[in-house]
Structure 1
């Protein structure tokens, strides 16, 4: 038996922020919340891109001549595809305008088949399900404090007041390695569904959310949740999508989609589309789509390959072919040289044979093509680093220049030296001292060139070898003894 959704939604700036970087989308088939981040680096743009890709996919299944609505795993394929396309466009926007580097967005939403929810989630926006008065969380935060809870280092109560509770480990920011979680959830008549940004769940505890979600009237549910988010300080944008599973209703199923938040006013600028080949795709896939697997303008090549030939002048083709071939070679050669020139300006800090090294180029390999090489080796052993320093450098720390790479290496060296001293002292970690988090992926006033969202300032690690910080450096948090064990 198929059901329908009775939906309410709300998005606002909150009491502190200057603008709304959250976006949302609701329709009889979709429920989505996206919490943009990046501050000046256009978090509102990132959430808008995510929502508009969802809206584009949703339109395919509306109307009398629309294809059959997806069910089961097919819903995850459709919604995950929209999220992947949004992530690709974020990468294109950053490549087109480097000032946008650092923007990103969470994504928490579901496709509804009438009997199931196909949920796709990345970041710390949350999905809740209330059934027969009991609420459970359908999503798992991709946050630093959640990783500490999972490791048994802090309790959920401690996480709620942790000074770095908003730091994220995974978001949509144009990086291919950030893959969302997916799941299928069966629904029952009377279920209540809530998707929200951390402007609500970061300020209001789950027990209070459950209490309000039990309220009879859906409009009152939204009002009560918003009021309590304000009472908690209203320090972030607040976006709420609430739906109740009801008997099939053709009027509800015919209701118009609704966009909320930043996406109602933010425009996505016209930009170049590079559409990079996914590492999971075989090379033949790109050719079938007319796209190139290397960084050069394949459209110029294709326009020459398929240019019409006048039938009255076919006898001249013997001299046209050398011209076409020469032009193609020129385009390919130009693309190769351009790509090499671009890669020569890119740097990152990573691991080479268990030691820290500075690489020149891009850490993203293209099929069998290696796009980087070790520019400088160091004597810093990865095993000597504080735990999260080690995880950061293992995932590759992008930097804007060789000078910035040296500054990052100096910070890593200082952290390794402090951990070596702490380990030699063998001092026990205080049980009440929470582990120092990684550099955040959540927004601050400044975007970093690493592709991650900017971080709140960390206490600098003292070291005479560390150069003076510049705006291009990747600052790492202070070393806590607990981070060295």
Structure 2
């Protein structure tokens, strides 16, 4: 079964505005709507540019998963085009546009959406919204803070959080949708759903041809007091081959610019009274200028990017210099060959950067230290400052000297025998000394001491193992 689209598109500037910032396109394979914003003439430029880029998808051969890639690529190219337009004319800074597109391959629909324009489907008498609004009030509804009914009358219902505005983070929602004969599809700008309830929209879409439905929907919006441009695209999914005589329809700002018009310039609006053109007094602010969340100005974008890079580079360099300066105020005791040395810096390795250097080489040989002290030095001993490092070396020197002294054997001491003979000339017999019994409490212990120093603070001989 081959399906095709029977479509109609219509756009109305509305009863208040003097210029139309909506643009729409309907073709055999693509339904597209863009609602420009930003005040003055920038909104119509943004929507027209977006439609002119994305409408190139209206051709056969884009099917299945390729539709998602094609839609995403087209939206990104439109976003780049908006960025170019702002760079060409800084007066356009702050402009943006919504984008809602349905790409059709005869069996499925690919949806791309960004902003608060909407896509609906009427199936078996039931109206379903296919797109998800990127608005402040919709975020409140999603969080359960307000109801959909409250969102309809919320004072900030027009505040958009995501739009196509030339910035790199303008990514659309992408989704594949099923389609069947008898479905009725509808795209519209916010000038319709902000003033007409879903029930009224459903009633209008339930009967009539696409041409009569777009007229009926726009009439309802104007009668409800809509102070915005109103644009609708309606298409029926039918079981028939698309006819070669079916012509695409381009409406709104895109159609005006394609016919050679440029729309009212900023100076013209001011001469005619920009405030009144927006529906208020001379001191009123055009609601389109407040339509989406404030963003940083885009003028001299390359200069701001260079400034940001310079600041980031300065932070990196400054942080690195601070860290390096800190390392050069640290000291530790280690080894330099066979000798103990004091080093300045930290004992860490960073490719291409030296973080430590020898500050003082000592005369103390490493192998003159006992095993425990030698292992400490070889593993480096951290010091708070240079004075502390020298104190550590002094303690190591004292340990080495005491170990050396304790390992040097002492010469035996001999007591000379008396040479004076006894006065009588007879030998004197010395009685043997009686045995001395030592109390058990005063007998020396056979278990060696486990202390590392003697009572006078000197090094215990047992700790001098390993001295060479």
User: Are 1:256 and 2:260 an aligned pair?
Assistant: no
In the other structure, the counterpart of 1:77 is 69
Kindly indicate whether the alpha-carbon contact (under 8 Å) linking 1:106 and 1:124 is maintained by their aligned counterparts in 2: yes
In the other structure, the counterpart of 1:197 is 189
Say which one has the larger Rg: 2
In the other structure, the counterpart of 1:361 is 307
For residues 25-424 of structure 1, the aligned pairs below 5 Å read: 25-40=25-40, 42-58=42-58, 61=59, 69-251=61-243, 254-266=245-257, 345-346=303-304, 361-362=307-308, 370=309, 372-373=311-312
Q: Cα distance, 1:82 vs. partner?
A: 1.3
Q: Cα distance, 1:81 vs. partner?
A: 1.2
Question: Partners of 2:142 and 2:162 in 1: how far apart?
Answer: 16
Q: Deviations over 1:115-169 (max 9, x none)?
A: 1111100000000011000111100000000001111111111111111110000
Runs of 4+ in 1 over 2 A off after TM superposition: 55-58, 216-220, 266-269, 342-347, 370-376
Q: Deviations over 1:383-425 (max 9, x none)?
A: xxxxxxxxxxxxxxxxxxxxxxxxxxxxxxxxxxxxxxxxxxx
Structure 1 unmatched runs, 5+: 62-67, 270-341, 348-359, 363-369, 377-485
Kindly indicate whether the alpha-carbon contact (under 8 Å) linking 1:69 and 1:113 is maintained by their aligned counterparts in 2: yes
Question: Partners of 2:255 and 2:77 in 1: how far apart?
Answer: 20
Kindly indicate whether the alpha-carbon contact (under 8 Å) linking 1:343 and 1:371 is maintained by their aligned counterparts in 2: no
In the other structure, the counterpart of 1:65 is none
Kindly indicate whether the alpha-carbon contact (under 8 Å) linking 2:7 and 2:211 is maintained by their aligned counterparts in 1: no
Question: Partners of 1:187 and 1:232 in 2: how far apart?
Answer: 32
The number of equivalent residue pairs is 277
Provide TM-score, normalisation by structure 2.
0.56
Provide TM-score, normalisation by structure 1.
0.54
Q: Deviations over 1:348-395 (max 9, x none)?
A: xxxxxxxxxxxx735xxxxxxx4653999xxxxxxxxxxxxxxxxxxx
Q: Cα distance, 1:80 vs. partner?
A: 1.9
In the other structure, the counterpart of 1:422 is none
Instruction: Quickly say closer, same or farther: Cα 1:343–1:375, change in 2 above 3 A.
Output: farther
Question: Partners of 1:128 and 1:214 in 2: how far apart?
Answer: 12
Q: Cα distance, 1:57 vs. partner?
A: 3.5
Kindly indicate whether the alpha-carbon contact (under 8 Å) linking 1:41 and 1:103 is maintained by their aligned counterparts in 2: no
Question: Partners of 1:115 and 1:209 in 2: how far apart?
Answer: 26
Question: Partners of 1:257 and 1:343 in 2: how far apart?
Answer: 37
In the other structure, the counterpart of 2:329 is none
Q: Cα distance, 1:224 vs. partner?
A: 1.7
Instruction: Quickly say closer, same or farther: Cα 1:16–1:132, change in 2 above 3 A.
Output: same
Instruction: Quickly say closer, same or farther: Cα 1:96–1:228, change in 2 above 3 A.
Output: same
Instruction: Quickly say closer, same or farther: Cα 1:19–1:371, change in 2 above 3 A.
Output: farther
Question: Partners of 1:105 and 1:143 in 2: how far apart?
Answer: 13
